[in-house]
Structure 1
Amino acid sequence: MRVALYQRSPVLGESDFLQSYVASQPDWRIALRSSDDGSGATLKRPGLQRVLAAARSGDIDVLVVKHMYNLSRTTRHLADLLDELTSLGVRVVSAADPGLDTGSPFGLFLVRVVSAVAEIEYAGALADRRDRLRHKQESADESPLAG
């Protein structure tokens, strides 16, 4: 099995972790290493595009990421990526969460559920941040020291 490793905003030790995961799988060999430092909110990342090009040309069989959210922070983008990769015969595996593996229908279902929950949590965190900023601004406006 020809494997691509993909990292978005790699952290210390992540590359070794992914390589160890691949080494633990019989008959897997690393064919491509790719990484980005860009936002997970967009698919326009050079490293991700290299992985997609390799998938489209039939050069990889498996894509290994540490976490599925390394592919995308939005459910729609992740679903689009998974649809394209699986239609090209590329299995997507999370090394940190081995149950998240598109090699089975149940694994693909789990990936989509987890990504949807993650997006809901992210949206909630953004709403909380906006509420705190709005409250801070309103409090400043009501201050007797305000201009």
Structure 2
Amino acid sequence: MSRLRTAVRAAASVSVLTAAVLTAPQAVAAEQPGPAAAAANVCSTGYTLRKAVPLPLGTDPRERLATLFAYENGGKGCVILDNNVGRSRYMLVQVCKVGGTSCDKNSGNFSEYAGPVYVSGFACAPVTAKMGTSSSSLSVNYKSDYVFPCG
């Protein structure tokens, strides 16, 4: 397993143990700066963790199938859907500008993660995350009107 993959898993574990939906990710980054920084490097240097969502929602965080990570760097956002199953699965992560316009996505069969997918003007950016054995057999089907804080 690559060092980056190990760091992403460590950051995910810390994130989901802190809360079902992480609302103060800076606290996690302060507790575990190495893993949080390494996971952010998937997006590129300079990105800061803003949100980590264990999926599917309502699942015990220790039994999550995926984790949606949202990072920010100035006026740009980056999302990654981390595969916590450890086997190749169909995955899709999509982020759009406000209003659902100009969407970018990454989809396919991945054993580690889908993404990174970038968006400029990230505040209130709608996001979609899917994962399953195929695109028609989903165990994760998450959509939010925003993954980054509005305002």
TM-score, normalised relative to structure 2: 0.28
Identify which of structures 1 and 2 has the higher relative contact order when contacts are C-alpha pairs closer than 8 Å and 6+ apart. 1
Q: Which has the higher helix share?
A: 1
Q: Which has the higher strand share?
A: 2
Quick check: which has more Rg, 1 or 2? 1
